[in-house]
Amino acid sequence: MRSTSHRIVGAAFGAQGTLIALGVSLVALVLALPATAAPVTEWDSSTVAVPGLIIPIGGAGQVNGNFVVADDPVSGAQIALRANRRFSPVPLPIAGNVYSIEPGESAPGLPLWNYDVHIDLRGTGFSFDDFVISLVTDVANHSTPNLQGTLESALALPSGVLSNVVLFQTSQNPGFFASGIDPFQPGTYNFRLDLTPRAGSQATALSVAMAVNVVPTPSALSGGAFLFLWLSLANRRRPLRSA
């Protein structure tokens, strides 16, 4: 079940989506910093929200792991993306930074999967104020060129009030925000999260990308079809008898 904080953050993600036109190559999205699936520093339902500092995942039954992660080895900053099956603790198959799942609905109009976003700047000496944080995706109405500004605008907060945020997490469904996505249509969806240091900041840029490949699962042959195929192969292999 999605928490109140999820709904607030969700509204923020959709608030400026229709105004954003980012011409990003889908190939570049997939190739940007692939990584091995791994857990993040913290992804837990019990993490306590702290206004202006900590915006955790919340909800219930959260499971860490299977993220595509980018770490700054100097400061310790970490960002990550993940695709996961809604309402299930079972991780999706992943190869490099590409997740796979079958088409289908988890609710009317909503695909079976969510995408998760994780930004952890705790202990680094940096915060939102040091970066321009952007999420770029080819899912309509889900990109945002400035996460802090988008959140502040959606929540009717004064500009800069979220400058000190050091942990941000959210989980969104690609069917939100009137994206027009068809849950039953196969396809590939690309995501990239960028932290770009603001002028004067000593922070290091970070970027992480993933793709979600929605493909039908191979249908098993029915018993009759399998028997027909077996008999056909047997007849082909049977040696001809001389007259």
Instruction: Give the start-to-end residue ranges of the domains of the chain.
Output: 4-218
**Confidence check: pLDDT of 8 > 70:** no
Q: Dig out the tokens for 163 from the structure.
A: 């400058």
What letter does residue 153 receive in the DSSP assignment? H
Give the Cα separation of 135 and 142 in Å (integer).
8
Average pLDDT on 17-28 reads 39
pLDDT at 217: 82
Burial of 230 (0-12, 13-18, 19+ CB in 10 A): exposed
| 167-223 pLDDT per residue, tens | 999 999 999 999 999 999 999 999 999 999 999 999 999 999 999 999 998 763 344
Determine what percent of the chain is predicted with pLDDT higher than 70. 75
DSSP of 8-46: HHHHHHHHTGGG------HHHHHHSS---EE--S---TT
Band of pLDDT at residue 232, cut at 50, 70 and 90: low
| 136-148 pLDDT per residue, tens | 999 999 999 999 9
Least confident among 2-6, 127-131, 204-208, 238-242 = 2-6
Sign of the four-CA dihedral 17, 19, 20, 21 = positive
Comparing 226 with 218, which gets the higher pLDDT? Answer: 218
